Amino acid sequence: MPSCHEMKMNQVYVCEDCGLELKVVKECEECGTTAPAETCGCVQGCSFDCCGSPMKLQG
């Protein structure tokens, strides 16, 4: 699963086990398109997991 700075508007991430889908409706303002990934100030690493596995970009 990508970090928050890699997730872009309208992308859909899916859990391959249960089928849950998450759609990006707002990009991370701190780590989004206006700031380079190196400046991401997230205290804990962003992780988007479901059913014990990272969610995947639908494609």
Tell me the per-residue pLDDT of 7-50, one tens digit each, with 9 for 90 and over: 889 999 999 999 999 999 998 876 655 555 566 666 666 778 89
Supply the pLDDT for residue 19: 96
Supply the pLDDT for residue 46: 75
Supply the pLDDT for residue 52: 92
The residue ranking higher by pLDDT, 24 or 5, is: 24
Q: What burial class does residue 55 get, using C-beta atoms within 10 Å of its C-beta: 0-12 exposed, 13-18 middle, 19+ buried? A: buried
**H-helix or E-strand containing 57?**
strand 56-57
User: Position of tokens 């970009």?
Assistant: 57
